[in-house]
Structure 1
């Protein structure tokens, strides 16, 4: 019995050291990031927004982000937990695709980018792919009376490339894109 207690105590000390070292590495690594591991807060028109949390844009004059299974409530992130064979999930995705095609009639015969029809695992993803943004250009150009080329150029300037050109996909932050869109004349 004494041997078991001593072994358990040693294992506890070893695991505390391993976990402690891991936490120091993660914390230290976060401090070299541009936001130093903190939220990116943007003040726009006197209101504060978190750029790293998905936002809902109700007007068709704005780019739409990923759907949210938690109604963009950052206090309770989470996915729907429904798999691709779940009938209710498939109906929801199909409704989203139908709505996108109605809202973007010029893109009726174009494949809908997956992130515009499916929610992310957290339900709060702030980014879409450049293809997801380009899918919405014709609608926004028409509603804002702007040339499509101007909006396409804006998407290109707002596209974040993968880290070191290797890690992750290219992405566009929808909040920042919509703020830049408001600045276009």
Structure 2
């Protein structure tokens, strides 16, 4: 019986130490060193209203805003992931064709040959908040026409919101669509 009590005590101590203590320690360190990131990298508009996270993409239906990547899960963070369709899969071909047709309708001034691939394909999670700088630049003529903001000003906004490669050599340059659209919204309301 004493072996049983010893194992119960050890289990309780280890549960408290690693199940509670470790989590409190790591959370405390994260809150102390980088509170914004520890809280989910939340983004607020100029009225201090929560509009999203810089880590999760959003759908922008209004054509006067920059759009992000296609999301087969509608940017629902509760179940990230995307179907891993082969390029020959009928559903993939249909979805891609629909995305290309939507592009042609919304962006008649930009030839389909200049359509960046990230505007018609999913990311691995379906939640990617970033697009390539080329994908943002391809949308400038449409947004300029709908907002009346000069293309040069929009190009400056895209450049301002372009992040370089991580550590200078990892990945590709990206543009966070939510941050870009928040600044675009502020520019429209000037």
RMSD: 2.4
Could you state the TM-score of these two structures normalised by the residue count of structure 2?
0.76
CA distance in 2, matches of 1:36, 1:59: 29
1:171 matched residue in structure 2: 174
1:39 matched residue in structure 2: 40
CA distance in 1, matches of 2:140, 2:103: 13
2:158 matched residue in structure 1: 155
Aligned length: 160
> Deviation of residue 108 (structure 1)?
2.6
SS in 1 for 2:104: helix
1:95 matched residue in structure 2: 98
CA distance in 2, matches of 1:88, 1:50: 30
Structure 2 unaligned runs (5+)? 1-25
2:116 matched residue in structure 1: 113
CA distance in 2, matches of 1:33, 1:115: 31
CA deviations on 1:45-92 (whole Å, 9 max, x unpaired) are 423411110101110010000011101111111102211110221111
CA distance in 2, matches of 1:148, 1:34: 37
Q: Give yes or no for contact 2:118–2:131 (8 Å, CA) kept in 1.
A: yes
**After the TM superposition, which residues 18-29 of structure 1 pair with which residues of structure 2 at under 5 Å, given as runs?**
none
> Deviation of residue 37 (structure 1)?
5.6
CA distance in 2, matches of 1:149, 1:34: 36
